Structure 1
Amino acid sequence: MAQKLLLIDTDCGIDDAQAIMMALAEPTVKVVGITCCFGNTTVDYVCQNVVKVLSVCERSEIQVFRGACCPLVGGKNDFTDHFGTDGLGDVLEDRDSEVWKDKIQKEHAALAMIRLASENQGKISLVAVGPLTNLAMAVRLDPTFPLNLKDLYIMGGNMEGKGNMTPCAEFNFVMDPESAYVVLEEYLCPTHIATWEFTCRNTLPWDFFEDMVNQDTAAAKFMKLITSKCWAFSKTFGENNRDVHFGQGFVPYDSFAVAACIDQRTVTDSIQCPVRVELQGSLGRGMLALDPTNMLNKSHSASVMKSCDQTKFCKLLMASLNQP
């Protein structure tokens, strides 16, 4: 059976690292490249983080491309320290080394996306787990680019107007609302969205997290290290959250999008409808609006995930750290 071809676009923080390792561990998948974007941290740290993950997993043959360092429109957005200032928990000791720079391809991420899709027409699944700036740049450079993709999987946005960066917007979309708008208006390939509420409503027990990171493998030891001092992986994180659906366990946000791409059976329910990203307003900017009755009169729709088969998902997660 031919392997699925995945192209991963990431702002590599801890959850991205977990998602990348899930793709690398899956025997039915071939990762054809990883493109980097600002988001959880600077794009240089993101590139360095991806190189580190590939090294840990002994997959350094996979090409890494540097992309956008700021949003499509306007100035740089402030980074958060949700996953540490470097995106990987501020625990790595080799941060002063610049060896990683030799591992980054000279080709810009957006151009690499266009080339890889053209060389593999209709075969590449693009998984985007950070701000969508590289994707917006690619479609602006080549409007036919999305038509060369097999499909698109996104972790980002929201389905109920609940946000984690603003009252109404999720991090990946609010970091570059214009790019999110462009992608969801102009990518006509089959599009699947794992929203923030979807991921948070499928939290996993901390006991499972402990079992996962305590496997005797290099990948598990690496994950245990980068989560060791990160507040986002504290069992007390979110205790004061008033919404009982959120913050009550381990949430591997980006892995949901990768898992859905690897095996669509991990998604047990979804809503197929037109969507649009709101660009106006102090509270609504960056919010993903669902339009089940198509009041926007759009010609295409997206599949927004609603529920997950946690047994299948946990199996993929456990396998992601069982390497090498």
Structure 2
Amino acid sequence: MAKKKMILDLDTGIDDALAIAYALTVPEADLIGVIGSYGNVLTPQAVQNCLDLLDMLGHPEVPVFAGPTHSSTTTTFSVMPISQRIHGMNGVGDVSLPHSSRTAEQMSGRDFIIEAAHQYGDDLIVVPTDPLTTLAAAIKKDPAITHLIGNVTLMGGALTIPGNVTPATEANINQDPVAANEVFQSPLPLTMVGLDVTTRTLLTKKKTAQWRALGTTAGKKYAAIVDYYIDIYADVHPHLNGCALHDPLAVAVAVDPSLVTTLPLNMKVEVDGPCAGRTIGDEELLDQPVHSQAAVNVDKDRFEQLLMTHLTTLFQNN
């Protein structure tokens, strides 16, 4: 069976760093490129984090592209204070990474998605774990890609539980509700991996200690990065007893949908009013063919075991 081709679209904070590591290890897909965009950090920092992490993990062949620097409805962007607190000022828990000498590709992240869609078609998986600005821009430039891309599995939204920015909104969707709505309302085959399931998957310091014990650069750096995340979670979300594995879960579901139970539902994103950014079923499309689904339950134990197996193997060698 031919491998799928995967693009990660990240605002490279800590869980995005875990998503990169997971994507490099899954046997079902080849990571053909990574896009660094605004969100947890500014775009240049996201790009540098992607380059540094990929090189540290032994994969300097994976190209990195720059995404947008702000939302589709603004002209500037400032990182939210809560994002700086959760991910650190540099996005990776203020841990210093070995510096990559590479730079971003000249092609934009938007155009890379378009090119890959035409090249790989149904074999292409796009995994955005950031605001959906890049993907919306690609759709706007070339609407044909909505009928070419095999699947979009995004980390974002909240359907059955409250958001983490406001009671109605999750952070990635909150950054650009208009772009998110354009993606949700497009014909793309879409799976939403939102807070409904990601906050059920956790990592603890008992697990990161296993990575540190490997004695490798990657093992020690990732342990330090995730320990920072766990400490912040203990303060901000003490009821979870660990840090949530938001972005790596989206990568896992992209290649193994059986990890989650989904609700088939045509969705929309509220773009204005007090509930701007809310992801919810579209009442105008209830009787239309369904092209999207929202994850509402997860095989927590199996995913957490997969993550530890994949990442420990990767860190052993780097």
Q: TM-score, normalised by structure 1?
A: 0.88
Q: Are 2:254 and 1:248 equivalent residues in the alignment?
A: no
Deviation at 1:142, TM superposition (A): 0.2
Question: Is the helix fraction higher in 1 or 2?
Answer: 2
SS of the aligned residue for 2:206 comes to helix
SS of the aligned residue for 1:105 comes to coil
The residue aligned with 1:322 is 313
SS of the aligned residue for 2:143 comes to coil
Deviation at 1:40, TM superposition (A): 0.5
1:248-269 CA-partner distances (Å, limit 9, x unpaired): 32211101110111222211x2
Asked if the contact 1:157–1:169 (Cα under 8 Å) also holds between the matched residues in 2, the reply is yes
Residue type at the aligned position of 1:262: V
In the TM superposition, 1:107-256 aligns within 5 A as: 107-160=107-160, 162-186=162-186, 188-212=187-211, 214-230=213-229, 233=232, 235-239=234-238, 247-256=240-249
Residue type at the aligned position of 2:225: I
Q: Are 2:82 and 1:83 equivalent residues in the alignment?
A: no
> Which residue of 253, 256, 263 maps to 1:263?
256
Deviation at 1:231, TM superposition (A): 6.4
1:130-189 CA-partner distances (Å, limit 9, x unpaired): 111100100000000121111110000111361111221000000111110110011x23
SS of the aligned residue for 2:87 comes to coil
The residue aligned with 2:273 is 281
Deviation at 1:303, TM superposition (A): 1.3
Asked if the contact 2:211–2:222 (Cα under 8 Å) also holds between the matched residues in 1, the reply is no
Residue type at the aligned position of 1:320: L
Residue type at the aligned position of 1:87: G
Residue type at the aligned position of 1:272: P
1:273-298 CA-partner distances (Å, limit 9, x unpaired): 1111001113x11111135x766655
SS of the aligned residue for 1:126 comes to strand
Give, in whole Å, the separation in 1 of the partners of 2:232 and 2:258. 27
SS of the aligned residue for 1:227 comes to helix
Relative distance call for 1:202 and 1:236 in structure 2 (3 A) is same
SS of the aligned residue for 2:122 comes to coil
Give, in whole Å, the separation in 2 of the partners of 1:93 and 1:309. 32
- Greater Cα shift, 9-18 or 256-265: 256-265
In the TM superposition, 1:23-102 aligns within 5 A as: 23-79=23-79, 80-81=83-84, 82-92=86-96, 100=101, 102=102
1:37-63 CA-partner distances (Å, limit 9, x unpaired): 111000000000000111111101011
Deviation at 1:27, TM superposition (A): 2.6
Residue type at the aligned position of 1:118: H
Relative distance call for 1:212 and 1:304 in structure 2 (3 A) is farther
Deviation at 1:77, TM superposition (A): 4.0
Asked if the contact 1:158–1:169 (Cα under 8 Å) also holds between the matched residues in 2, the reply is yes
- Structure 2 unaligned segments of length 5 or more: list them: none
Relative distance call for 1:213 and 1:2 in structure 2 (3 A) is farther
Asked if the contact 2:169–2:279 (Cα under 8 Å) also holds between the matched residues in 1, the reply is yes
Number of aligned pairs? 310
Residue type at the aligned position of 1:107: M
Give, in whole Å, the separation in 2 of the partners of 1:144 and 1:213. 46
